[in-house]
Amino acid sequence: MVKEAKITPHGMQVGNLELIWAVNSKDFFFSNSLFIDDTEAMVVDPSANFSYLEHLASSKRVSQVLNTHFHIDHRSLNHLFKDARFLCHKKDLRALLSLDNYLKLAGKEKNNEYVLWLQKIFSALNLGQAHVDETLLDQQTLPLKDSEVRVVHLPGHTPGHIGLHFMDLDLLFVSDVDLTPLGPWYAGTTSNIDQFLASLQKIKTFHCRYYASSHGSRLYEPETFFEKLQRFEDAFRIRDEKLLEALQESPKSLEELAQIGIIYRKVWLKKDPLKQSFEKQMLEKHLQRLEKAGQVHWEEGQWNKA
């Protein structure tokens, strides 16, 4: 039987699942959270809404917390759930356990803007010592009592990035395949374009009644979801094309390419060093991939179109 979706004061309810929309979705540390109202109740990615998550934590009903991946905007309120068991995918375990490991993945250049930003955030948030009680693998069923939810490994954004398939509800949660207009994010040393693209193909094999992601306050119907997913996927090709166009004009260094506004808008890049750092890291991944395909080559500090 199809479960109908209802609006709640904090988001949407489908069966025993509440999608809690991020209170300030423009802000970087916040992402949507999920509350699975099970005998072994679980919160996924506690970071959407401080007062509501604090209320859930103080009710002492939540015995488990799952993080879909190690990024800070998906676990900024983990610490509210003091007695819970923590779960994550095996491949994101190390980065989740320590800030040092997280920082090592933030870029090849020491003290780049991403590293500096993370250090600032972590000291401001006072997250305390992280621990993980159980690691997960693809297709594994979550340790719930009354609901069947399976792990869908969707690497690329991070190596251990997962979605969740709510079998009873016919709903797929795709986490940071977030379908935002900006498009996919894959800065950091362990993000990978080919894995990301393969994960998008994997998502296309799920034919569900409902879809949701970690950013944007909406539950998708299949038609809109697949339209948005296609646009999200197209972003990879469009970024390639813009790079090749820029190199057609003249050879350029990575620094020069990163100022054009290929991923982030040029005005944002000018005033935000963090976005500059993301832009550079993501463009470098495109260039390395295009180099493998024989479409560009690197010579004397500049990228050239082949």
Determine if 92 is a binding residue for Zn ion (CB under 5 A). Answer: no
Of these, 92, 113, 176, 240, which contacts Zn ion (CB under 5 A)? 176
232 Cβ contact list (under 8 Å, min separation 6): 177, 179, 183, 184, 200
Residue with tokens 């959270």: 33
Q: Which is nearer to Zn ion, 200 or 246 (CB)?
A: 200
Residue 181 in tokens: 């207009």
Q: Which stretch in 15-23, 71-79, 137-145, 216-224 sits in contact with Zn ion by CB under 5 A?
A: 71-79
Q: Which amino acid is at 271?
A: K
Q: Which is nearer to Zn ion, 186 or 303 (CB)?
A: 186
Q: How far is residue 81 from each of residues 57, 75, 181, measured CA to CA in Å?
A: 5, 11, 32
Determine if 178 is a binding residue for Zn ion (CB under 5 A). Answer: no
- Work out how close the CB of 71 gets to Zn ion at its nearest, in angstroms, rounded to a whole number: 3
- Work out how close the CB of 297 gets to Zn ion at its nearest, in angstroms, rounded to a whole number: 32
C-beta atoms surrounding 272 within 10 Å: 14
Determine if 215 is a binding residue for Zn ion (CB under 5 A). Answer: no
Q: Which stretch in 122-130, 169-177, 221-229, 252-260 sits in contact with Zn ion by CB under 5 A?
A: 169-177
> If we measure between CA atoms, which residue out of 9, 19, 59 comes closest to residue 214?
19
Q: Which is nearer to Zn ion, 127 or 244 (CB)?
A: 127
Cβ atoms of 279 and 258 within 8 Å: the answer is yes
Half-sphere exposure of 279 (CA within 13 A, CB side): 24
Of these, 10, 71, 75, 89, which contacts Zn ion (CB under 5 A)? 71
- Work out how close the CB of 305 gets to Zn ion at its nearest, in angstroms, rounded to a whole number: 32
Binding site for Zn ion (CB under 5 A): 71, 176
